[in-house]
């Protein structure tokens, strides 16, 4: 007897679930649920978003938004809620009322003890597979940021001082990580 296949969860299925304040994501047919982030996580997110807003959005390079916002990958019926995303002006067409439909230029996930393995594994592979250009994994405990640049020549780096912000292969500016990770 063949094992019975479990139903695959899609982003549309996730959208039908009741809103209880938790983040729900559909990746590779699996449902992932995450509780609300910590205060430190939120402060780091706020500082990164503000820096990116000032460096990228104000000069007109695109749009910066933070969770909760859905990013749907229609071709595979997957969807996630990253901590912060950036969509360049050239790719503004992927922004819709429901969220983002397609691959953002930059996706940022801030690690927590319950999400670290997923952020470094299944989500990194998802973002690469779906065409995200740059993926940052923010490590609050180490005060560091891993940068994954996908494409024809994938690159990976880890930064603890100044974080380069790169769009379309060109470094635009830098973010001082001491400011991002400073204690309150």
pLDDT band at 1 (very low <50, low <70, confident <90, very high): low
Average pLDDT of every residue of the chain: 93
User: Is there a domain that residue 11 lies in?
Assistant: no
User: Is there a domain that residue 111 lies in?
Assistant: yes
Q: How many domains does the chain have?
A: 1
User: Is there a domain that residue 150 lies in?
Assistant: yes
User: Is there a domain that residue 28 lies in?
Assistant: no
pLDDT, tens digit (0-9, with 9 covering 90-100), for 110-151: 999 989 999 999 999 999 999 999 999 999 999 999 999 998
User: Is there a domain that residue 72 lies in?
Assistant: yes
* Range of the structural domain that residue 138 is part of: 38-180
pLDDT, tens digit (0-9, with 9 covering 90-100), for 25-64: 999 999 999 888 999 999 999 999 999 999 999 999 999 9
User: Is there a domain that residue 168 lies in?
Assistant: yes
- The C-alpha atoms of residue 169 and residue 45 are separated, in whole angstroms, by 24
Task: Say whether pLDDT at 22 is over 70.
Answer: yes
* Segment among 16-20, 69-73, 117-121, 140-144 with least mean pLDDT: 16-20
Phi, psi of 35 (to 5 degrees): -80, 175
Phi, psi of 104 (to 5 degrees): -65, 165
In 3D, which of 154, 171, 151 has the Cα closest to residue 162? 171
Name the pTM for this structure. Answer: 0.92
For residue 141, give the CATH number of its domain: 3.90.1570.10
What does the H/E/C string look like for the chain?
CCCCCCCCCCHHHHHCCCCCCCEEEEECCEEEEECCCCHHHHHHHHHHHHHHHHHHHCCCCEEEEECCCCEEEHHHCEEECCCEEEEEHHHHHHEECCEEECCCCEEEEECCCCCHHHHHCHHHHHHHHHCCCEEEEEECCCCEEEEEECCCCCEEEEECCEEEEEECCEEEEEEEHHHHCCCC
User: Is there a domain that residue 155 lies in?
Assistant: yes
User: Is there a domain that residue 76 lies in?
Assistant: yes
- Residue 117 burial (CB count, 10 A): 11
Tokens of 133: 């250009």
């Amino acid at each position: 007897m063949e094992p019975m296949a479990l139903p695959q969860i899609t982003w549309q299925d996730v959208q039908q679930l009741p809103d209880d304040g938790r983040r729900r994501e559909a990746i590779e047919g699996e449902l992932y649920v995450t509780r609300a982030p910590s205060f430190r996580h939120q402060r780091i997110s706020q500082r990164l978003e503000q820096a990116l807003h000032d460096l990228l959005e104000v000069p007109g390079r695109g749009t910066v938004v933070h969770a909760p916002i859905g990013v749907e990958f229609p071709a595979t019926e997957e969807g996630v809620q990253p901590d912060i995303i950036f969509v360049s002006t050239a790719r503004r067409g992927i922004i819709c009322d429901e969220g983002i439909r397609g691959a953002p230029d930059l996706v940022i996930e801030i690690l927590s003890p319950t999400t670290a393995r997923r952020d470094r594994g299944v989500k990194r592979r998802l973002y690469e597979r779906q065409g995200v250009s740059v993926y940052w994994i923010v490590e609050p405990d180490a005060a560091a940021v891993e940068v994954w640049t996908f494409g024809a020549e994938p690159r990976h780096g880890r930064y603890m001082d100044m974080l380069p912000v790169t769009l379309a292969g060109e470094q635009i500016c830098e973010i001082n990580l001491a400011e991002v990770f400073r204690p309150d």
